[in-house]
Amino acid sequence: MIVRRLREKRNWSQEQLAIMSGLSTRTIQRIESGNKASLESLKALASVFEIDISKLQEEIIVIDKTSAEWNKEPLLVRFAFWGLKARKQIVMLEITTVLLGLATWIIKPDIFATSAFFLLAYIFSNMKHYIDTKKHW
């Protein structure tokens, strides 16, 4: 969630953000976990972060390949995501390879093609998970 990313960028705790915004710590926790925020909560957070409220309504799902954190990633990881920016792209690759794997298994059983598609789906899933855990989106 964008609120967590903005908070962590400033090295603030959830409690500090709650005090500055006038919201409860529990409200901050709920918003950061993906629950919908009221317009009043969004206005308070936008004021604290000094950003437009519309930015808080967007979800960060694009890799910032210019960041220092991204440049610290191993060359293999950066190469694997060459041409991919949005999380949606890797999710679509994952779904497509699973469906192709199922199709080759059901329509015309081919152990090599089926295995290859499922292996690719597994690789895409792990790539997505790795970038999720590193919070590059």
* Contact predicate 1/31, CB 8 Å: yes
Residues of the chain under the 70 pLDDT cut: 1, 58-62, 64, 137
Q: What pTM, to 2 d.p., does this model score?
A: 0.56
Q: What is the pLDDT of residue 101?
A: 96
Looking at residue 45, its amino acid is L
Token readout for 29 is 């926790």
Q: Cα separation of 96 and 39, whole Å?
A: 37
Q: What are phi and psi of 60, to 5 degrees?
A: -80, 110
Q: What is the pLDDT of residue 70?
A: 82
